[in-house]
Structure 1
């Protein structure tokens, strides 16, 4: 990832980035919201710290550990020290930018398989740590439609043959079936709703069934070469079947109590390599599918359409989809694997970014280094790649794909799982930034670029529904940073320390709560003064 800015002025501004009232939730009876919403307002300043070092042993680093709370030192817009880093947030209405939807990970077959290996009480504990209000409270989750490279067994929902690469055309989709693995995915997504009832869930296929493609293969050969896009691509003759396939998927998951809230038509549509499920899907194909019935089918079901779902180095792709199907595209989705950082003029999400090889003793800020710039340049949420694997980064495709993608959880056996540094890094965002929060522009105090790993000071300042603030800092410098954080409208200055090589989240009360606290302090002080005067008067009289 680089620190360049990508201006997509060619994209029509047809999507509001300020209202998620019509964006649904995946269902379930679990609690909604969390700290920072109207029911759980922040009443006192708080700080949480995660060290950037991958632990070498349990409890050897701080992991979402409570830290010294920032101090409200002055409220006149000035600071006493010229040596402190001054971070200024434009808290005015003109400084308000995009509304936030949430943060999370991706459900893959590897995640489902290793979770289902856990003893029931351990799975219950882990699900609470991932989705509960006292855990990471993740609210923006992706899942694979059919298999991906993070699947030990390869399949679509309509192979219509003895294996994924030996299917016959199924014009009426009579053989459509979630199968064993799709059913297990749906059942675990339904279980997620018992822990959090307001998850935004969106799906993405890695490939359509092989018989819908020009090469008739779900997975092209992994012979070291690139398979020319005209072969490993959708056959336009099967547009109607592709539309039916994605529509039947949404309906089938609903039968298990899972409401799909969003969809991208193809994961990484410009990736047509072999070795794992991939499929080239031109922007014109995406637009045609939407115009020829998929757009209506999705919107009738309350499903939002996310165009593109690939790297930001090809900005013309989402522009072409939007121009070709302007009534049906709700947002653009992009991945972190190529620069520049997206700066779309429409609603956008960072929908995939993967960490690899978390070597103990090394520093790893990859989550914050991608979530923070994404939000700064307009993303309303983000999801990292695989949620969980076994200790060998699997199960994954034996034919190709990512063999070292790591997630928030390693499941080592039916009785042992391990939360990685990514769990805690994702938590700095998903725990404390609520759905409906609004990101605000930071006017000064940030430093560093995307490849200058040891000299970055990044931050985002998000105003939660309770009108308090969640401010996430990334400090890759080898020295502590003493901070003066100022809000332009109130002039309040919060002081604190962002430790070297760390990610820190500050939770700050709203101005209204601060005013109440100040009134209580003044009243308490007045009572103390009155009490002291009464004691003094009594002593004089005696």
Structure 2
């Protein structure tokens, strides 16, 4: 049987949430756009069981821990080990291939910020080419789900929007026909850098998020907008830093011009969140309150259609899991599911920890609406400590319905900047730290993101994990998390986070077979399992013809249970567990309620 036929027969699934029409990030006629794949796609099938390991321990000694290191691969066994086996206690994990097909996957990645663009522009050409290959190339992290900031954010040295129309940010006068709109200079610099990303990897899903609208569109003070006779903004007053819906038409034009401007630079934006963290309005950096009612009206009164006309999906909310009613109201307020709002976006900063189970509730209500985890930060991680920030905010969202996840800043300088001088994420670590014009550091976040982005292909199907695949939660000190996706070649990528306190002997049930191996303590470990059609011969016996690295070419397959070989640990102790503390990032968490005073909404901290 030919390999292509095998893939056609064994990669079949019915899922509610499809990612087939989400577009790509590059459009230039000289660029080769479209899926470029990586391991697990049809052109690069998984023929060998493999294991990759990254330690969660942030070492004080360079290169003393495993970073996407090859580990002992799992072994195919024909018989499930008995309870009387002499092996150490095992963890039985079941991938429900019969009835557990869930959402399709888009990918994993980071965010483009002004800090990233700024530090990358200090690199010489050869170093920049290498860092882009490290991040987006098939030999690197192959990231396929990327965010970018529309205007400035807390990771910007200057504050601006694309139409300030005044002496400085938040101090302009209304520009009713947006004649002063321009993405220069910072937006064009960002678009140019993103276009270089597209030249390396053509199937990136790119979405944009604004941290603030132009000051003149906000209720900042009592300035009267000409020709509108409505109060309008122009100061740094944060007591009523909220959107004035009288400017809905102008904001529809603003976003449309932004999409068109990026397109003129060779960048197709695929998604838009109307506001980053719409319930956060008190930061000393760009931010703005956007109620669910105003967000729905903005989408319904032009933004939704304008974006759909440009091939851009609308992603509602873009904030913490503690207010799940917000995206639900936006979907219902924009014509319901399948109309103008295409997805819900979530952040990780709810106190004390993110509760991603609300995504399952949202999926029950809106089964055909995509979901994403769009921001989480690793704040001032310390050498000698354990850090599961990436895995603990990638795996649970996926198991609850997310089609992709993105950490925050892609790159900074050695001082976590440039960042806003007025507040914001002054200690947010990214994947890359630029040290000089020809040197940079790949952080532990780089390798942790790579445990997902290197092995989960666009269009992969997430499957429900049963048995002992997911135990514990972020409120305690012990967790074992598992997510499992089937890639386009029919293989499975199974990502496991072990913060349980000891190495785990895992027996993984997939279809008609079982795979056994060790997941070391204190690690994120990814297993690649070949397509099931390659496991068996015509007599339904286990076969080693997939070239198992356990036995070499035509390798051996155990016909019974084996005791897992204890995987080598890093040079530092991996015998203790660590509680998953919330990220110390108060600038992203605003506790607020909405009250009604004389029929008008009032925001109360």
Q: TM-score, normalised by structure 2?
A: 0.80
Q: Mapping of 1:465-480 within 5 angstroms?
A: 465-480=488-503
**Residue 348 of structure 2 corresponds to residue 336 of structure 1:** yes
| 2:299 matched residue in structure 1 | 290
CA contact (8 A) 2:109 2:405 kept: yes
- Could you tell me how far apart the structure 1 residues matched to 2:317 and 2:45 are? 37
**Which of 105, 114, 118 is residue 119 of structure 2 equivalent to?**
114
CA contact (8 A) 1:26 1:193 kept: yes
**Which of 201, 207, 213 is residue 208 of structure 1 equivalent to?**
213
- Could you tell me how far apart the structure 2 residues matched to 1:482 and 1:76 are? 13
Number of paired residues?
A: 498
**Residue 58 of structure 2 corresponds to residue 49 of structure 1:** no
- Could you tell me how far apart the structure 2 residues matched to 1:129 and 1:82 are? 39
CA contact (8 A) 1:18 1:98 kept: yes
**Residue 182 of structure 2 corresponds to residue 181 of structure 1:** no
User: How far apart are residue 17 of structure 1 and its match?
Assistant: 4.3
**Residue 426 of structure 2 corresponds to residue 406 of structure 1:** no
Q: Deviations over 1:295-346 (max 9, x none)?
A: 1110011100001111111111111101110310001011011132132214
The 1:263–1:158 alpha-carbon spacing in structure 2 relative to 1, beyond 3 Å, is: same
Q: Which ranges of structure 2 fall in alignment gaps of 5 or more residues?
A: 1-14, 221-231, 555-605
**Residue 540 of structure 2 corresponds to residue 518 of structure 1:** no
Q: Mapping of 1:196-275 within 5 angstroms?
A: 196-215=201-220, 220=236, 227-228=238-239, 231-275=240-284
**Which of 20, 29, 47 is residue 32 of structure 2 equivalent to?**
29
Q: Mapping of 1:426-505 within 5 angstroms?
A: 426-445=449-468, 446-453=470-477, 455-487=478-510, 489-490=511-512, 492-505=513-526
**Which of 87, 92, 109 is residue 93 of structure 2 equivalent to?**
87
| 1:534 matched residue in structure 2 | none
2:516 alignment partner, SS class = strand
Cα RMSD over matched residues? 1.9
**Which of 439, 444, 452 is residue 416 of structure 1 equivalent to?**
439
Which has the higher mean CA deviation after the structures are superposed, 135-144 or 473-482? 473-482
CA contact (8 A) 1:206 1:277 kept: yes
- Could you tell me how far apart the structure 2 residues matched to 1:197 and 1:323 are? 34
User: How far apart are residue 78 of structure 1 and its match?
Assistant: 6.2
**Which of 43, 52, 61 is residue 65 of structure 2 equivalent to?**
61
- Could you tell me how far apart the structure 1 residues matched to 2:300 and 2:193 are? 33
| 1:103 matched residue in structure 2 | 108
1:179 alignment partner, SS class = coil
- Compare the two structures and name the one with the higher helix fraction: 1
User: How far apart are residue 44 of structure 1 and its match?
Assistant: 0.4
CA contact (8 A) 2:292 2:326 kept: yes
- Could you tell me how far apart the structure 2 residues matched to 1:371 and 1:519 are? 33
| 1:165 matched residue in structure 2 | 170
| 2:18 matched residue in structure 1 | 19
- Could you tell me how far apart the structure 1 residues matched to 2:307 and 2:192 are? 22
Q: Deviations over 1:98-142 (max 9, x none)?
A: 111110000000000001111110110000000000100000000
The 1:358–1:521 alpha-carbon spacing in structure 2 relative to 1, beyond 3 Å, is: closer
2:535 alignment partner, SS class = helix
User: How far apart are residue 166 of structure 1 and its match?
Assistant: 2.5
CA contact (8 A) 2:166 2:173 kept: yes
- Could you tell me how far apart the structure 2 residues matched to 1:219 and 1:369 are? 40
The 1:209–1:447 alpha-carbon spacing in structure 2 relative to 1, beyond 3 Å, is: same
- Could you tell me how far apart the structure 1 residues matched to 2:485 and 2:121 are? 36
